[in-house]
A = this chain, B = another copy of it.
Amino acid sequence: MVQATALPRNETGIETALGILKQRFGEKFHTGQAIREQHGHTTTWIANQAPDGVVYPQDTAEVSEIVKICAEHKVPVIAFGTGTSLEGHINAPAGGISVDMSEMNKVLKVYAEDLQVVVQPGVTREDLNTHLRDQGLFFPIDPGANASLGGMTATRASGTNAVRYGTMKDNVIALEVVMADGSVIRTASRAKKSSAGYDLTRLMVGSEGTLGLITEITLRLQGIPEAISAARCSFPSVGDACKAAMMAIQYGLPIARIELLDALSVRAINTYSKLALPEEPLLLLEFHGSEAGVDEQTEMFRAIAQEVGGTGYETAANAEERNRLWKARHDAYWAIQTLRPGTQAFATDVCVPISRLAECVQASQQKLAELELLGPIAGHVGDGNFHSALLVDMDDAGERARAETFVGWLNDLAISMEGTCTGEHGIGQGKMPYLERELGAATAYMGAIKRAVDPDNIFNPGKIITV
């Protein structure tokens, strides 16, 4: 499918850097094949391109040192969080060094009064929330995988809570970044808002490791809501479910999560998570607020759902029942794969203006049927974002070709609806041609910025844009 093109390797530089890093980092530096392959792309159907070495820095100074060594010898530097990205972000098409941030996993400081926390990039979102729980605080962004906060920042991740709490773009206050010459910058102060020059924070969020290595992240936190309630509701069609989501957004319902599962996805999670949900298009919802506020939201959504033919509206106010439902949603990616064992899953990620969502989802289902493809749909429909998880028999060349046709068709459809080819997964290697189609002339300025900030193209070459 989207094959990962190999780029020219600077063999001499790589050899030299490997020697220096080995000497300097000793047991924190690895060149074994297994560990190298673990640090290339291992999800989806993009081929693995392993780095030449893997290093585990302990602090910002060590990251700076690694970058200086690689910069001197013009060797690629690829940041690694948990390896859960889906578009080949961590592949090493020109070889180079993977900088694994997993040992930079400290929560450095909680500013409870400011609703802020400062973390190292290797802290995962679950670890952070465990750390924060006693203080009545939480970090809302939840892409499903227990990703690292560095990786989530780098890919501008979001997920189920984005409809209420925004994406990483909205929840990163400031960053510490090691730049291509090894220097360390801070992109912003801890002030909640600022007009102090170019927004380097937002430029780094979503830059996928191509402009610098993130070594410290100041995040915005939320107080754990007084009341949380979940609900589910079935709909005659995915179009009706999308309409209900659209109406909830238009009415200004401050819904925390509103997730679509099509009938096929419901069947998969029923089997995988031992549930007995009606195998029809389903919306899963979560409401955050005061007790009264949550009740009000619950009733307002009930009215909306009725208006578009929703059935079986049930709420789950107790934590156990709620967690069971959301655990099932989170496991959907795994559940879906059991629908057709032996296949490889590949998730599309389009996001369209919410007025076009129902049309886009329904057209996708038709196109999947027409191409005889299995692609259950799950979506963050409050944002207009949905995924079709294509289950492809990689040994069947015809099916692979049809899947490729579908991916291209869907990305083009989303773009024609003034949407994007990626709501939250990022460009990586997989979506480079679509970025070009989506933003055209603007990508030239991405290239200009990349060349200005990283003139030797050492940071994650072969991702986002060709330079």
- What is A's interface to B at a CB cutoff of 8 Å? 111-116, 155-158, 162, 166-167, 169-170, 179, 183-200, 202-203, 205-207, 211, 222-223, 225, 246, 249-252, 254, 290, 292-293, 296, 349, 351-355, 383-385, 414-415, 418-427, 431, 435, 438-443, 445-446, 448-453, 464-465
Contacts and interface: CB of A to CB of B under 8 A. Distances in A.
Contacts of A249: 115
Contact of A191 (B351, B431, B440): B351
Contacts of A385: 191-193
A234 B198 CA distance: 38
A196 B426 CA distance: 6
Contacts of A442: 185-187, 200
Contacts of A419: 189-191
A359 B400 CA distance: 63
A385 B194 CA distance: 9
B115 A250 contact: yes
Given A185-B442, A186-B439, A453-B449, A352 B196 contact: no
A291 to B, nearest CB: 10
Contacts of A167: 193
Contacts of A111: 353, 355
A110 B362 CA distance: 25
A271 to B, nearest CB: 31
A155 B195 CA distance: 7
Contacts of A187: 439, 442
B422 A196 contact: yes
- Central interface residue in A191, A197, A246, A296, by most chain B CB within 10 Å: A197
Top-7 shortest CB links A-B:
A202-B202, A452-B452, A113-B355, A190-B418, A194-B420, A191-B351, A185-B442
A194 B383 CA distance: 10
A213 to B, nearest CB: 14
B424 A191 contact: no
A195 B114 contact: no
17 contacts: A111-B355, A115-B250, A156-B194, A158-B193, A167-B193, A169-B193, A184-B441, A187-B442, A190-B418, A191-B423, A192-B353, A194-B420, A195-B422, A197-B435, A197-B446, A197-B464, A198-B446
Contacts of A251: 223
A207 B254 CA distance: 31
Contact of A162 (B158, B193, B290): B193
Given A296-B293, A419-B189, A442-B187, A246 B453 contact: no
Contacts of A431: 196
B114 A445 contact: no
A442 to B, nearest CB: 4
A193 B441 contact: no
A422 B197 CA distance: 9
